Amino acid sequence: MRRIFSLIPAMLVVGCGALQLPGGQPNVDGTVVALAQQGAPRLQVGILSLGASTVVVRQTVRENFETYASIDGASITMQDGMMIATRGLGGDMLGSDISESLATVSSQKPGRVTRFHTFLDPENRAERRAYICDIAIRGPRDVPFGETQVATQLIAEDCASQDQTFLNLYWIDSSGKIVQSRQWAGDFAGVLTFRIVP
């Protein structure tokens, strides 16, 4: 099973200086490097448990689904700013139904919703889980965006199943775009943070 640490070397893509890992250099995906050099949209991704962050590059777009990739093949798929799948992080989120969460968060109104995640378990089997989530408005917050600040509304999504709980946070700008977020990627990867790179 690949480990989440493989995501970190994507710093090489944007020339910010990579965080070095034990074991030497990663296998580099030339397509991702080329996309970065062409100015493809990027996301800053943080791994909360490690206190580390990196930048990933948008590789594909299909309707409102965007897949961002690192230079060594790890990827994260987003739907309008909400994470729906990961690959290459370990214990991957294979897919999600976030339709209720997305609609309620986008409306910037409180409510109770159900979301579904399918994870890869330790035996490499797909396991689908349902979560009941309470969405609450936490009020206005300013978010750093390049050299400026963006006015946003902070929205919390507090979710629970029979044996798991997590809290997602979304900072939404005046156009309705999620410009920053903190989202749970499963027991193995834990909480990931996202911010649009200007």
Tell me how many domains the chain contains.
1
Contact between residue 97 and residue 116 where contact means Cβ atoms under 8 Å apart: yes
Q: Which two three-digit tokens encode residue 8?
A: 């970190």
Domain membership of residue 13 (yes or no) is no
Angle at 39 between CA 33 and CA 41, to 5 degrees: 95
Rounded distance between C-alpha atoms, residue 182 and residue 175, angstroms: 19
Which of 151, 170, 143 minimizes the C-alpha distance to 83? 170
Q: Which residues contact 78 (CB under 8 A, 6 or more apart)?
A: 43, 65, 66, 67, 68, 84, 194
Q: What is the CATH number of the domain that holds 191?
A: 2.40.360.10
Domain membership of residue 10 (yes or no) is no
Note the pTM of the prediction, 2 decimals. 0.85
* DSSP-based helix, strand, coil % in the chain, nearest 5: 15, 50, 35
Confidence of residue 136 (pLDDT cuts 50, 70, 90): very high
Domain, as residue range, for 45: 26-197
Residue type (1 letter), 77? T
Domain membership of residue 19 (yes or no) is no
Confidence of residue 121 (pLDDT cuts 50, 70, 90): confident
Domain membership of residue 14 (yes or no) is no
pLDDT score for 168 = 98
Domain membership of residue 171 (yes or no) is yes
Question: For residue range 90-116, what is the model confidence (pLDDT) as tens digits?
Answer: 889 999 999 999 999 999 999 999 999
Expressed in angstroms, the distance from the first to the final Cα of the chain is: 33
